[in-house]
Amino acid sequence: MSLQSTSLQTRDMPLGRDDLARLVARDIAPGSFVNLGIGQPTLVSNYLTEEQNITLHTENGMLGMGPEAKGDEIDEDLINAGKIPVTELPGASYFHHADSFAIMRGGHLDICVLGAFQVSATGDLANWHTGAPGAIPAVGGAMDLASGAKDVFVMMTLLTRDGASKLVEHCTYPLTGVGCVTRVYTDKAVFLTGPDGVIVRETFGCTLEELQELVPLPLQSAAAVGV
Amino acid sequence: MSLQSTSLQTRDMPLGRDDLARLVARDIAPGSFVNLGIGQPTLVSNYLTEEQNITLHTENGMLGMGPEAKGDEIDEDLINAGKIPVTELPGASYFHHADSFAIMRGGHLDICVLGAFQVSATGDLANWHTGAPGAIPAVGGAMDLASGAKDVFVMMTLLTRDGASKLVEHCTYPLTGVGCVTRVYTDKAVFLTGPDGVIVRETFGCTLEELQELVPLPLQSAAAVGV
Amino acid sequence: MLNFIDTVGEAVAGIQDGSTVMIGGFGNAGQPFELIDALLDGGATDLTVVNNNAGQGDQGLALLIKEGRVRKMICSFPRQSDSWHFDAKYHAGEIELELVPQGNLAERIRAAGAGIGGFFTPTGYGTMLAEGKETRIIDGRGQVFETPIHADVALIKALKADGKGNLVYRKTARNFGPIMAAAAKHTIAQVSEIVPIGGLDPENIVTPGIYVNSIVKVA
Amino acid sequence: MLNFIDTVGEAVAGIQDGSTVMIGGFGNAGQPFELIDALLDGGATDLTVVNNNAGQGDQGLALLIKEGRVRKMICSFPRQSDSWHFDAKYHAGEIELELVPQGNLAERIRAAGAGIGGFFTPTGYGTMLAEGKETRIIDGRGQVFETPIHADVALIKALKADGKGNLVYRKTARNFGPIMAAAAKHTIAQVSEIVPIGGLDPENIVTPGIYVNSIVKVA
């Protein structure tokens, strides 16, 4: 494998959460319909531009979701999937839960962005359950998004607090979906996942060689494979 | 079998189509949600009273259908299942086809009234296809109504033009639904059908003995079985 | 991506030979006559058409059938007093018919839009329309396995669209429009009126713009 | 039959021990708090409850769970920062949990209302939530067989009802209300306002009155 790391390194430093969210936002094609799940991925909404004309979907029954509600805008009947008060943009629509999940499950969303515990080389996703004994499992809409969206992007730190890679050959946590993740955005690199293995699109504050030291599966350089 | 015909005969003459429609209308419980199919059963709507507070459903997406539209009321966007212009009553609602058939298929209609070629002793219905070679089959919503409504009433003449009974031991025409018909309203009698056989509720212009001559399956008297 | 298109001809220009085309409407209500006429003019052939009926009189879908452009009809009620063009093609063995109970037609279209791989329904159990199909008894009732109907294109008619492609309909003209819009890869809607973004109440949208690709105003 | 009822207590009085009760709402939006409180006061126990969550804080469903009235929860997201009453009962082995992906929960409820005997979906395929379930490959995708969720009673919250029982909702408080109303044998709706027949636009009804049995106005 040819590791052409210099051409991939786009930043001197690992990315913070906001920089990562900005990067994901920049990568979303104009006019897309997008679901940002709950937690960290919702930061992406802060960096979408008006020119991009992105329509945000929330699983609890809305297209055209606006930014988080502040002060007088707060309305208990208008919340997102994380149960945080949000606002409504012009051109929004409301629908019931079966219609909302039909949008997700029917393949109509262009992109969903999710957090993850682990992603495998072939795009398996584990993000709902640690599998720890006694842990109460809760899945919400994660499996529907994983299996339904045209593209599933993951946002996560590359390493656990213990320094283990979350990008793995095979997930050890219970799966959310099989072969569903197409891109993984981490603080140290952006990876493209799929049936042909893992391709590194760019690195942040490390060379490809250094990255390969951290990740226990073979990495290919985007420059080398011509992506 | 004890044939107590005198107590069942309620009219001196066979019923005409309008008298039959009036009888069906009278038998519909107040507050019911009803679908009247197409053709002859739609006559029933002429005899429903305001006090009955019946809500009519039409398969093409409406609850609260009113009478046929006349003159200036005619609106090409407001038709019934027979494609005849109709009107809208206060409290009506419109919905799309999947939602409309969910009402029918989900068991939410109290009664549907359908025409028939044949009904069997156990309530099998044949009303969509003669089975004749070269005939173009057309089924519409008949099978959904037959399998979905809580009660399926049939309105038909008892005999074909050739004098054969349409109430039969086993249907020879292709089936619309199995064991679905609960009542059969004919010009000569009202029959209750079900797993226990055929019960005659009342006769028009004939005795039960005379009726039994016409129908090739054992008839029980409602008076005798205590219905 | 959503496009507002000036003419019905341009709107249907991308429809390929061999496509599966859903056409909204029940009787005349909700039929996108202008889009169908444009499809007739456009020349696409070898089509599979999904519609409740199989054309009436000498207009719209009936003409498409007459001209031999429809290889197969998927419908619930092809036989009407004025469906002579379908009748002729059918008796000549020149058109294929998949006859589907109307509720199965609606539910199969809905299933395609909702990502359902197939479902069991009591409708049609024990009838010739279930012959050859998988069946099972569920909670004591015989049920038939039915599969989704996907389409390349849907041609539908709505009352109004806003700038986001959200649609509202009028009375019983709503019928198949919303479920076909969700089941097709590319949905083309003819509307009577286009209003600005914000011109429709978010509570009353029937078809969200995510399901709509092309909108053309028809006078 | 539709009844307009004066108090939430009378509205829930008929709910029997052992019933399956669907409760609308996602977070606080659309939760029929007053009906849940009345159910708590009414004493029915051994309930199976269908809700997206498993109660939050010290109110509503959480209290019903705390009081030991819920035998089984069917939900997608029981674990929240303030779901301590469910947590305690779960760890004590005093409540059964059927964990369902949220889209399967919605679709299974919808299937019950629409008379569908079961359906195949890709959601959950290859995960532990599909263990023991029938699967098949359809069009190259692994799919899981899921069955309808019926209920004896649905408790939902809507914005307005008209005299025919037609309902409209408000913003994301709509969520599970419409599908639960259709899936339950008996649907009880608490509303903020009751308007006369004709007071709601027929184009904008979300839940037709055919799905509603009891309506109670909550100030």
Between CA B125 and CA D195 the distance in angstroms is 42
* Structure confidence by residue, pLDDT tens digits, D96-132: 999 999 999 999 999 999 999 999 999 999 999 999 9
Nearest CA in chain D to C136: D117
pLDDT of residue B7 exceeding 70: no
Between CA B84 and CA B82 the distance in angstroms is 5
Sequence-ordered list of residues with C-beta below 8 angstroms from that of C99, at least 6 positions apart, any chain: B137, B138, B139, C75, C76, C78, C129
Sequence-ordered list of residues with C-beta below 8 angstroms from that of A83, at least 6 positions apart, any chain: D26, D27, D28
- Give A139's contacts in chain D (Cβ within 8 Å): 76-77, 99-102, 129
* D79 or C53, greater pLDDT: C53
Does C170 contact D203 at a Cβ distance shorter than 8 Å? yes
Sequence-ordered list of residues with C-beta below 8 angstroms from that of D195, at least 6 positions apart, any chain: D160, D161, D162, D163
Between CA C38 and CA C54 the distance in angstroms is 18
pLDDT of residue A6 exceeding 60: no
- Give C124's contacts in chain D (Cβ within 8 Å): none
Between CA B189 and CA B204 the distance in angstroms is 6
Min Cα separation B164/chain D (Å): 36
Q: Which tokens in the block code for residue B19?
A: 């008298």
Residue A7 pLDDT grade (very low, low, confident, very high; cuts 50, 70, 90): low
The per-residue pLDDT for B224 is: 80
* B15 or B196, greater pLDDT: B15
The mean pLDDT value of chain A amounts to 94
pLDDT of residue B2 exceeding 50: no
Among A47-51, A75-79, B8-12, D184-188, where is mean pLDDT lowest?
Answer: B8-12
Which of C113, C182, C202 faces A94 most closely, judged by CB atoms? C202
Query: Beta strand A198-204 with A181-185: parallel, antiparallel or unpaired?
Result: unpaired
- Give D208's contacts in chain B (Cβ within 8 Å): 63, 93, 95, 103
Q: Residue range B143-166: average pLDDT?
A: 97
The per-residue pLDDT for A1 is: 40
pLDDT of residue B14 exceeding 80: yes
- Give D77's contacts in chain A (Cβ within 8 Å): 138-140
Min Cα separation B84/chain C (Å): 9
The per-residue pLDDT for C200 is: 98
Min Cα separation B93/chain C (Å): 9
A70: Cα separation from own chain's centroid:
26
Residue D1 pLDDT grade (very low, low, confident, very high; cuts 50, 70, 90): confident
Chain A neighbours (≥3 Cβ pairs under 8 A) are C, D
Residue written as token pair 């949208």: C205
Min Cα separation C197/chain A (Å): 5
CB D153 within 8 A of CB A41: no
* Count of B-D CB contacts under 8 Å: 59
Task: Say if A74 is an interface residue toward chain D (CB within 8 Å).
Answer: no
- Give A74's contacts in chain D (Cβ within 8 Å): none
Q: Which tokens in the block code for residue D156?
A: 């939902």
Roughly what angle, to the nearest 10 degrees, separates helices D102-114 and B97-105? 60
Among A59, A68, A76, A169, the active-site one is A59
CB B153 within 8 A of CB B182: yes
The per-residue pLDDT for D219 is: 84
The per-residue pLDDT for B227 is: 65
For residue D138, report the phi and psi dihedrals to the nearest 5 degrees.
-125, 125
Q: Is A210 a catalytic residue?
A: no
Between CA B10 and CA B20 the distance in angstroms is 13
User: How large a percentage of chain B has pLDDT more than 90?
Assistant: 87
pLDDT of residue B38 exceeding 70: yes
Task: Say if B63 is an interface residue toward chain D (CB within 8 Å).
Answer: yes
* D198 or A194, greater pLDDT: D198
* Structure confidence by residue, pLDDT tens digits, C21-48: 999 999 999 999 999 999 999 999 999 9
Angular region, D46: left φ>0, alpha ψ -120 to 50, beta rest: left
* Count of A-D CB contacts under 8 Å: 138
pLDDT of residue B5 exceeding 70: no
CB A83 within 8 A of CB D27: yes
User: How large a percentage of chain D has pLDDT more than 70?
Assistant: 100
Q: Which tokens in the block code for residue B50?
A: 């305001």
Using DSSP, state whether D124 is helix, strand or coil.
coil
* Structure confidence by residue, pLDDT tens digits, C180-202: 999 999 999 999 999 999 999 99
Query: Beta strand D135-138 with D141-146: parallel, antiparallel or unpaired?
Result: antiparallel
Between CA A200 and CA C104 the distance in angstroms is 47
Between CA D165 and CA D4 the distance in angstroms is 9
- Give C201's contacts in chain D (Cβ within 8 Å): 204
- Give D111's contacts in chain C (Cβ within 8 Å): 119
The residue of B78, B136, B180 whose CB has the most chain C CBs within 10 angstroms, and thus the best one to mutate to test that interface, is B136
Sequence-ordered list of residues with C-beta below 8 angstroms from that of A145, at least 6 positions apart, any chain: A35, A37, A59, A104, A109, A112, A114, A152
Does D203 contact C171 at a Cβ distance shorter than 8 Å? yes
Task: Say if A75 is an interface residue toward chain C (CB within 8 Å).
Answer: no
Q: Residue range A74-80: average pLDDT?
A: 97
Does C127 contact B175 at a Cβ distance shorter than 8 Å? yes
Sequence-ordered list of residues with C-beta below 8 angstroms from that of B179, at least 6 positions apart, any chain: B122, B123, B124, B194, B195
CB C172 within 8 A of CB B94: yes
The per-residue pLDDT for A2 is: 43
The per-residue pLDDT for C185 is: 98
pLDDT of residue A3 exceeding 60: no
The mean pLDDT value of chain C amounts to 97
Task: Say if A138 is an interface residue toward chain D (CB within 8 Å).
Answer: yes
Nearest CA in chain C to B58: C172
Does B94 contact D162 at a Cβ distance shorter than 8 Å? no
Which of A104, A129, A178 faces D126 most closely, judged by CB atoms? A178
Min Cα separation A55/chain C (Å): 9
CB D51 within 8 A of CB D26: no
pTM, to two decimals: 0.97
Sequence-ordered list of residues with C-beta below 8 angstroms from that of D117, at least 6 positions apart, any chain: C119, C120, C121, C122, C136, C138, C139, C141, C143, D111, D147, D148
Residue C116 pLDDT grade (very low, low, confident, very high; cuts 50, 70, 90): very high
Among B50, B51, B59, B73, the active-site one is B59
CB C46 within 8 A of CB C178: no
Between CA B47 and CA B24 the distance in angstroms is 9
* Structure confidence by residue, pLDDT tens digits, D40-80: 999 999 999 999 999 999 999 999 999 999 999 999 999 88
pLDDT of residue C111 exceeding 60: yes
Min Cα separation B82/chain D (Å): 21
pLDDT of residue C129 exceeding 60: yes
Angular region, B6: left φ>0, alpha ψ -120 to 50, beta rest: alpha
Q: Residue range D176-205: average pLDDT?
A: 98
Residue D187, CA distances (Å) to B97, C113, D22, D79, D162 in order: 23, 28, 9, 27, 15
Q: Which tokens in the block code for residue B31?
A: 């507050």
ipTM: 0.96
Task: Say if A95 is an interface residue toward chain C (CB within 8 Å).
Answer: yes
Between CA B201 and CA B206 the distance in angstroms is 13
